[in-house]
Structure 1
Amino acid sequence: MRRGRLITIIGAIFAVVGLVLVSVAVTLAVTTASFLGSAERVDGVVVEMTAKTSTSRDSHGRTRESVSWYPTVEFSVDGRRHSFRSSTGTNPPMYEKGDVVPVAYDPGDPSDAVIAAFWPAFLAPLIVGGLGVLFTPVGVVLFVKGRRSPAR
């Protein structure tokens, strides 16, 4: 296979993956913004911080562990208590037990709730979108470079 053709294929793959990631990020952001726009607001209290450990291997084959902290938030609606664990974990922990946090919940289903702050709500779209913004131009540059590569 010609070197230029290989670079063209790799570039196309990077560009397509980048565009898919950007599309997913936009969808996540719009969905989150829509939910936050229609949700009711109330203050909640962080009642627990749960550690989740993930294990990975570095390029030298060494095992690396990292810990992320996920807050469990409790809040009341019409005298009924509800709680949820945030899907966003951080290290270092973003919250401590006893912190008061803004909560957005679905008025039709208060068990559908999130911490109504920018980072917990939009961290996933920012990470996915950031990767897409990196992949897309790299892919386009490789694609164009491969297409312009002279035949041998």
Structure 2
Amino acid sequence: MTLTQEQKKHLETLLIAGEELEAVRYLQDTLGLSAEEALQLTEKLDKTVEQSPAATMFKTMKHGSKHMMKDSKVGKWVGGIFMFFGLVMLGVCTYIFYTNYTFAQNAVIVKGEVTGFDTHYSSDDDGGSTLMYSSIFKYEYQGQEYEHTSDVSSSSPDYDEGDEVEILIDPNKPSKALVNEFWDRWFVIVILGFMGTMFTGLGYMAFRLF
């Protein structure tokens, strides 16, 4: 009732993989043992195999693979979240672009004059604050004066008081205006487009890698 080297290796492989039942059947078929005899021999061999370097390595790899699977799921979740927020930003960016474009197509151009600045403080990451300026424009349409405050703020005034700029207005609602300058028209779109592209790209890379 001896096993050849090949038979022993096959049994070790089954036992390392946790296939005790298959090992018992293999011993029954190979050596013609009864179920009880095959089970007893399998238990003896199992104790020996548990101490072998191959079994230790297999357990380590199995444990590591579980961690990798867990990390993989976390990576996919993080990637999915980044992609979601990125796509939301790109969607908002597209909506603002379309809205501004449609508004400009139907707008009337008038001359506006800088009359002052709206100021507020913006907090930074270091706990400090910066004084921000938003230009205030005065313009006239069909004999009536209107005032518009820029949606764009900066740490220093973009214009001097008295400067003249082109302003786009809705002829049906003259109080609705948009300064016809690059940053007033496209600043939010550029920022959202950049952030949305970055978040979507990073999320996609994380999703694919994991």
TM-score by length of 2: 0.65
CA shift, 1:89, in A, is 1.1
CA shift, 1:41, in A, is 0.4
1:28-74 per-residue CA deviation (whole Å, 9 max, x = no partner) reads 01101110111000110000112211224x3xxx4121222101100
- Correspondence 1:35-46 to 2 at 5 A: 35-46=103-114
Q: Please tell me whether residue 92 in structure 1 is matched to residue 156 in structure 2.
A: yes
Counterpart of 2:166 in 1: which secondary structure?
A: strand
CA shift, 1:91, in A, is 2.3
Counterpart of 1:47 in structure 2 is: 115
Counterpart of 2:55 in structure 1 is: none
Q: Please tell me whether residue 136 in structure 1 is matched to residue 200 in structure 2.
A: yes
CA shift, 1:119, in A, is 1.0
- Correspondence 1:1-150 to 2 at 5 A: 2-56=70-124, 58=125, 62-146=126-210
Corresponding letter in the other structure for 2:103: F
How far, CA to CA, are the matches of 1:53 and 1:124 in structure 2? Answer: 19
Quick check: 137-146 or 86-95, which moved more? 86-95
Decide which structure has greater helix share: 2
How far, CA to CA, are the matches of 2:194 and 2:123 in structure 1? Answer: 23
How far, CA to CA, are the matches of 1:67 and 1:34 in structure 2? Answer: 33
Note if contact 1:52-1:69 (Cα within 8 Å) is conserved in structure 2: yes
Decide which structure has greater strand share: 1
How far, CA to CA, are the matches of 2:132 and 2:72 in structure 1? Answer: 43
Q: Count matched residues.
A: 142
Corresponding letter in the other structure for 1:5: K
How far, CA to CA, are the matches of 1:13 and 1:103 in structure 2? Answer: 39
Counterpart of 2:135 in 1: which secondary structure?
A: strand
Counterpart of 2:128 in 1: which secondary structure?
A: strand
* Higher RCO (C-alpha 8 Å, min separation 6): 1
How far, CA to CA, are the matches of 2:160 and 2:100 in structure 1? Answer: 24
- Kindly report the root-mean-square deviation, in angstroms, between the aligned alpha carbons of the 2 structures: 1.2
CA shift, 1:92, in A, is 2.5
Note if contact 1:16-1:136 (Cα within 8 Å) is conserved in structure 2: yes
Corresponding letter in the other structure for 1:141: M
Name the % identity: 25
Structure 1 residue runs of 5 or longer lacking an equivalent are 147-152
Corresponding letter in the other structure for 1:127: I
TM-score by length of 1: 0.89
